[in-house]
């Protein structure tokens, strides 16, 4: 959908990300007017529906493009509402992580640039992950699903502190989580034999870059039709530091505390329930995580 043809588009906005919702709407509509574009239809998320229903409603009302304006949780919910419709997702980042936008090399600090990309860019199909927790109904993710320390950090973060200092709030939560014990885990893929070991965290990724440009899973690609699982099992403060240096330095010769596998379907089972997360949102303690890739299932807008 090019700029001159942009009638019938929508923005799904998470109002909790803004101190003044009317101001951000006015700013976006001003950018549209400056470029001669029509204003979008607005849909706001709610606690009971973080974006799935709003995205589906926008499509039912004729939207040819639906943009998410919020954090990673809003992106995930809107993406879920768009699956199977053929309507592309535009990313207007407004969260702390903005991980899908970062992995797609999209602007994360410039609303106007993000809007220009959404309205005038090209459409590309990317993979989406699907997960079932403990046999429950399947949910989608666009970045990562995890169990263990990463989820403990998400669950332990202070929401108000996060609003004030951003990712420093995760550092504070991480310092507390680092001293907790790990867990026994069994990981199985279609092409690898069952692997049983002690772990501190298990992550299944659709993409691999974290905030700050850290390449947690450099082999991961958003359109390769595969998911990547990493099992981290550092056993001391020294091994945590060595693993962190390994990731930050970009060395790719492997690390004995980090196991990496790829496949279309990956299942993880823990001996007892551990904290879990989905695209950075804590989802409670789980014992079984069964994931599969939905290859090139979601159209997104990228710079033309």
Q: For the segment 85-139, what is each residue's pLDDT rounded down to a tens digit? A: 999 999 999 977 899 999 999 999 999 999 999 999 999 999 999 999 999 999 9
- Mean pLDDT of the region 249-274: 80
Q: For the segment 188-233, what is each residue's pLDDT rounded down to a tens digit? A: 999 888 888 888 889 999 998 876 677 788 889 999 999 999 998 7
Q: Which domains does the chain have, with CATH numbers?
A: 3-120 (3.40.50.10330), 130-295 (2.60.200.40)
Q: What is the pLDDT of residue 196?
A: 87
Sign of CA dihedral 51, 52, 53, 56: positive
Q: pTM of the prediction?
A: 0.87
On the question of pLDDT at 141 being above 60, the answer is yes
Q: What is the pLDDT of residue 153?
A: 78
Q: For the segment 171-189, what is each residue's pLDDT rounded down to a tens digit? A: 544 545 455 568 999 999 9
Q: List, in sequence order, every residue forming a beta bridge with 43; answer none if it has no partner.
A: 12
Q: What is the pLDDT of residue 2?
A: 43
On the question of pLDDT at 282 being above 80, the answer is yes
Q: What is the pLDDT of residue 180?
A: 58
Q: What is the pLDDT of residue 15?
A: 97
């Amino acid at each position: 959908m090019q700029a001159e043809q942009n009638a019938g588009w929508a923005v799904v906005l998470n109002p909790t990300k803004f101190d003044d919702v009317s101001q951000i709407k006015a700013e976006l509509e001003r950018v549209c007017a400056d470029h001669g574009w029509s204003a979008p239809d607005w849909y706001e998320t709610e606690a009971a529906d973080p974006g799935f229903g709003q995205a589906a409603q926008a499509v039912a009302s004729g939207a040819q493009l639906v943009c998410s304006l919020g954090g990673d949780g809003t992106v995930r919910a809107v993406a879920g509402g768009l699956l199977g419709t053929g309507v592309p997702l535009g990313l207007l980042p407004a969260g702390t992580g903005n991980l899908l936008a970062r992995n797609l090399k999209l602007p994360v600090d410039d609303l106007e640039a993000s809007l220009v990309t959404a309205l005038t860019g090209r459409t590309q199909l990317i993979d989406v992950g699907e997960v079932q927790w403990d046999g429950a109904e399947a949910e989608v993710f666009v970045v990562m699903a995890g169990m263990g320390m990463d989820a403990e950090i998400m669950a332990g973060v202070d929401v108000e502190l996060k609003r004030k200092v951003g990712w420093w709030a995760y550092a504070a939560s991480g310092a507390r989580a680092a001293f907790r014990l790990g867990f026994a885990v069994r990981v199985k893929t279609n092409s690898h034999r069952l692997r049983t070991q002690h772990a501190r965290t298990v992550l299944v990724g659709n993409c691999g870059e974290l905030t700050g440009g850290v390449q947690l899973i450099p082999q991961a690609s958003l359109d390769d039709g595969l998911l990547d699982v990493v099992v981290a099992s550092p056993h001391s403060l020294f091994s945590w530091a060595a693993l962190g240096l390994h990731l930050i330095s970009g060395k790719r010769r492997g690390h004995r505390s980090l196991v990496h596998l790829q496949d279309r379907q990956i299942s993880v089972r823990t001996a007892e329930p551990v904290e879990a997360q989905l695209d950075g949102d804590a989802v409670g303690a789980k014992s079984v995580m069964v994931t599969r890739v939905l290859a090139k299932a979601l159209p997104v807008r990228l710079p033309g």
